[in-house]
A = this chain, B = another copy of it.
């Protein structure tokens, strides 16, 4: 093994240790992680098959079921960010040619359309202007028209701040044998969710919003009905990393190695879930609601308006209308650079028209609102 090749040092940056500003993250996520979560993430790693680590995984599974209010055995964290968990629900449910009906009221509905298409679905869409939601009647008509194998809806649209009501949807789905798939990225932990009560078959979320963790390990769940359908599919799931049958051989009792879990992220997620269970999920929902109402009141007091009707407004993410004549990006830039506060800019239909303000997880507290409103008064 003699090495005669010379070393190329052109990309060998000489860097100092990491030294970053401290920001208050009030955008669409990530939010600031709880300090105890960050501390847990610097715990020395265990091996991914160590009995003590497997116990951490069991705890994550139970607590994810609790925060989602489900008894689904197949409830795990995907070793990737929320979009990977989104793709896991698609990869494990869509078979080529399946009709997948996607409700599009924002950016993430469109992402579901893109993903489902990549897995060979015959994708149909219903849509509404960004910021609105579907009525049960609208969903019923669309189901009757398309008779889809899967109905995919975004419970909490991160791009618009609207909450899609889900009560009664599964009763409509049952008529057509349709699986109900929902995006809970911006709702889990911060907005009431009752997966089993709502008859949801597939759901995904992220760690860095309502759960108050850092991004990278993302909740995923399948109902027994969705699981049974997966076991009957012909051919392998066309995605190895996200194949839930393989994943459950690791997360379940067999403990067969699949991939090397992101150990330290799981530590953080376990800690975030422990803190949330300690508070009580219904108390966390109430806290998010209360602090959001305080935010809306304070923003209205300085003359700002909200984009979404109050009835459909998420407590976790608020779209704030940019006043006429104001350069949205200039303001969010000033908040970041002069006040170390991050808020999100509008996406798609809402680009330049709204700011997106998140009050999620650890950041859902009156102090966040006070600091933001004080800064807004200065920069507006």
Q: How far is the CB of A248 from chain B (nearest CB, A)?
A: 16
Q: How far is the CB of A269 from chain B (nearest CB, A)?
A: 11
Q: Which residue of B lies closest to A270 (CB)?
A: B18
Contacts of A126 in B (CB 8 A): none
CA A260 to CA B80, docked complex, whole Å: 10
CA A255 to CA B69, docked complex, whole Å: 37
Q: Is there an interface contact between A82 and B119, defined as CB atoms closer than 8 Å?
A: no
Q: Which residue of B lies closest to A266 (CB)?
A: B216
Q: Which residue of B lies closest to A216 (CB)?
A: B262
CA A192 to CA B1, docked complex, whole Å: 9
Contacts of A196 in B (CB 8 A): 8
Contacts of A172 in B (CB 8 A): none
Interface flag for A33 (CB, 8 Å): yes
Q: Is there an interface contact between A267 and B342, defined as CB atoms closer than 8 Å?
A: no
Given the contacts A259-B83, A264-B41, A46 and B20 also touching, CB distance less than 8 Å: yes
CA A287 to CA B63, docked complex, whole Å: 43
Given B13, B69, B257, which contacts A63 in the complex, CB threshold below 8 Å? B13
Interface flag for A7 (CB, 8 Å): yes
- Which residues between 27 and 50 of chain A lie within 8 Å of chain B, taking CB atoms? 27, 29-30, 32-33, 36, 38-48, 50
Interface flag for A368 (CB, 8 Å): no
Q: Is there an interface contact between A84 and B21, defined as CB atoms closer than 8 Å?
A: no
B interface footprint on A110-128 (CB within 8 Å = 1, 0 otherwise): 0100110111000000000
Contacts of A33 in B (CB 8 A): 44-45, 264
Given the contacts A215-B262, A261-B81, A115 and B240 also touching, CB distance less than 8 Å: yes
Q: Which residue of B lies closest to A22 (CB)?
A: B44
Residue from A7, A27, A342 whose CB has the most chain B CB atoms within 10 Å: A7
Name the segment of A146-154, A175-183, A231-239, A296-304 touching the other chain: A231-239
B interface footprint on A127-167 (CB within 8 Å = 1, 0 otherwise): 00000000000000000000000000000000000010100
Q: Is there an interface contact between A262 and B214, defined as CB atoms closer than 8 Å?
A: yes
Interface flag for A23 (CB, 8 Å): yes
Contacts of A66 in B (CB 8 A): 8-13
Query: Which A-B residue pairs are the 5 nearest by beta carbons?
Result: A216-B262, A42-B42, A11-B66, A11-B65, A83-B259
Extra contacts, 17 of them, besides A50-B336, A79-B81, A215-B262 (Cβ < 8 A), are A1-B163, A11-B65, A12-B281, A13-B277, A15-B59, A17-B36, A27-B47, A29-B260, A33-B45, A33-B264, A38-B42, A48-B215, A117-B236, A118-B239, A215-B263, A262-B262, A265-B265
